[in-house]
Amino acid sequence: MKLANRILQIPEAPGVYLMKDRHGEVVYIGKAANLRARLRSYLGGGDGREFTRHIDRFLDDVETLITANEKEALLLENQLIKTHQPRFNIRLKDDKNFLKLRISHSHPYPRVEPVRRVKKDGARYFGPYHSASALRNTLQTLNRHFQLRTCSDNEFKNRSRPCLQYQIKRCLAPCVLEVERESYRQLLDNAALFLEGKPQELLDRLQSEMREAADSWNYEHAAALRDRIAAIARSFQSQHVELGPRANLDCLGVHREGALIEIQLLSYRRGQLSGTQSFGYDDQRFPTEELLGSFLGLYYADCEDLPDELLLPLDVEERETLAVWLGERRGKKVRVHVPRSGAKAKLVELAVLNARNNLADERRRHDRARTTLDELREKLELPRIPLRIECFDNSNFGGREPVSSKVSFFEGKPDRSGYRHYRLRHPEYPNDFAMMAEVLQRRLERGLADDDLPDLIVVDGGKGQLSAALEVLEALGLRERVELRSLAKARSAAFVERRGRHHTRPESAAEGALPERVFRPGDSEPVVLDTHSDALFLIQRLRDEAHRFAISYHRKLRRQKNLTSPLDAIPGVGKKRRLALLWHFGSLTRVREASVEQLRQCPGIHQALAETIRAHFHPSREH
């Protein structure tokens, strides 16, 4: 390898290396305490591991960046991976922040609400919750046991009678009934203890309330508290791991099969399992311990809820550096280690078992998806398995606001990074054929420029939409590179009586249902897929998702249009001044009728702007 001669020139220092292919694209980023030793093991033949035998198939160049120490290398690696998104690196999804629960004390009857960002607003935050289902389960438990309101502030303000939650005894209805603030505050404090994972303190408080109720002869309330105590005690007892009430730790499990790797994270807070996360990756060429080290740096760089202890299934080179870095971020020592025996070793075994099961499930899903795609290839007479399928759908409202949507499926699953909305402005609209031609023209021209083309395009419609799409493909010279089909329902049940080489009468048609027709360029007769086939289900999901995506975008545009105000058209009046004017005068009518002097009384409105506003509404009058 030509690169082997460069190894001797690489310094024996900590830093980061960027591996590039023959196109100059960064395909892998790693860090090392000794750059020369690490790269020699990969490129100089000193490493006997399987992946090093094939590294020259994709590697053409290596760039190195020296850092002052290993911690800086860890941070730089995280930053570069996020910037370059290399093919062979483990990457975290660029998703929203973890969900948290928030209790704001600005309202006399606060509610517990889910949020994604922590603000310095004096509210109390609980979490994070690593999945939406875990958060929903927690909220359901709170509603069941603590009877706090769930409605928004606007609903609270405008409600005239109790809702269903009150009828099923899951809310006290403070929106319309007289509820003592102190009593409600007590329920809120109890809920906070539950969210903080302090079972004994919560149960002691509830038992004290139960005794007080019994001493006051309020036996009905005492019985309700007794049942609540039992239910809450059961919910805390459902955790079977004995870690001690103060244990805050994260436990990782890893399972690998060839280029597939699954990482399982179990988070324990105050001795109880608070959340689980799984991360699956394919096409991974580098050693497991190196990939795990990169994952840890990426994950904990943005994590707000850091543990006291981090349990690993195998050792990583940067373990001590990671412990120092986490300790600095947390302001308190964090222990990072591989437990060899005892309860913590069993936790790691449990995490590894979950990782193994998750990978097995993913393999089964992947195999089924491949079978479905192969069936689709056969039924639609495609030259190859359509790994990436895109579907387009148009939407308009009475000929106004024409829009189109594109959804993308990869290996049979939605790939939301490939979803797109298009606003269409052609003078012929509403013309479904012209709309389809425009959106495909825009999509495919961009795909040609970026070398990003799908295997199969599905358009929602019949022969007309198919012909419009086909003209675009031929004009761009893509007829042989991108397959094209259209999907439409039969116009009448009589269609299924026509027999051809492509179709047979589906079972549902005999029962009165209209079959789905798939049109292929050059064929006069459509393909009718078997009613119960996975291939039909996949293509229907694709079409329905495109339709949903287009409709939701169209509704969003209509809402935005309905929310616009005549004040928005006035130069110098932005959102803040618009709100200030409406708040000051109470209505748009009063703003329109106000004189220049009256307009000047509104905060933020100076003389020149007041004259502009007055002139906007009364262009022919004296100000």
Provide the β-strand partners of residue 395.
403
Residues of the chain with CATH 3.30.420.10: 249-360
CATH number of 249-360: 3.30.420.10
Architecture in CATH of 566-617: Orthogonal Bundle (1.10)
Q: Per-residue confidence at 409, pLDDT binned at 50, 70, 90?
A: very high
Are 252 and 242 within 8 A, CB to CB?
no
Query: Which residue stretches of 380-506 are H helix?
Result: 432-450, 463-475
The token pair at 284 is 């991974």
Range with lowest mean pLDDT among 118-122, 249-253, 398-402, 527-531: 398-402
Class of residue 571 by CB neighbours under 10 A (exposed 0-12, middle 13-18, buried 19+): exposed
Rounded CA-CA distance 331/308 in Å is 11
Range with lowest mean pLDDT among 173-177, 300-304, 380-384: 300-304
**Averaged pLDDT for residues 227-243:** 61
Q: Per-residue confidence at 269, pLDDT binned at 50, 70, 90?
A: confident
Is the domain defined by 388-560 classed in CATH 3.30.420.340? yes
Range with lowest mean pLDDT among 198-207, 438-447, 485-494: 485-494
Provide the β-strand partners of residue 16.
31, 65
Are 377 and 539 within 8 A, CB to CB?
no
pLDDT tens, 384-398?
Answer: 999 999 999 888 765
The token pair at 260 is 């597939």
**Averaged pLDDT for residues 518-547:** 87
Query: Which residue stretches of 511-587 are H helix?
Result: 534-563, 575-585
Rounded CA-CA distance 352/273 in Å is 16
Are 15 and 64 within 8 A, CB to CB?
yes
Residue with the bigger pLDDT between 497 and 545: it is 545
pLDDT tens, 100-113?
Answer: 888 888 888 998 88
How high is the pLDDT of residue 95?
47
Q: pTM for this one?
A: 0.60
Confidence check: pLDDT of 507 > 60? no
How high is the pLDDT of residue 500?
44
Residue 306's region, left for phi above 0, alpha for psi from -120 to 50, else beta, is beta
Residues of the chain with CATH 3.40.1440.10: 2-84
How high is the pLDDT of residue 338?
95
Residues of the chain with CATH 3.30.420.340: 388-560
Are 103 and 192 within 8 A, CB to CB?
yes
- The rounded percent of the chain whose pLDDT value lies above 70 is 85
For the sheet with 260-269, list strands across it.
272-281, 260-269, 249-257, 309-311, 335-337
- The rounded percent of the chain whose pLDDT value lies above 90 is 22
Confidence check: pLDDT of 492 > 60? no
Confidence check: pLDDT of 47 > 70? no
Residues of the chain with CATH 1.10.150.20: 566-617
- Cα angle 13, 19, 23 (rounded to 5 degrees) comes to 145
CATH number of 2-84: 3.40.1440.10
Q: Which residues does 202 contact at the CB level (< 8 Å), separation at least 6?
A: 190, 193, 194, 232
Q: Per-residue confidence at 234, pLDDT binned at 50, 70, 90?
A: low
Confidence check: pLDDT of 97 > 60? no
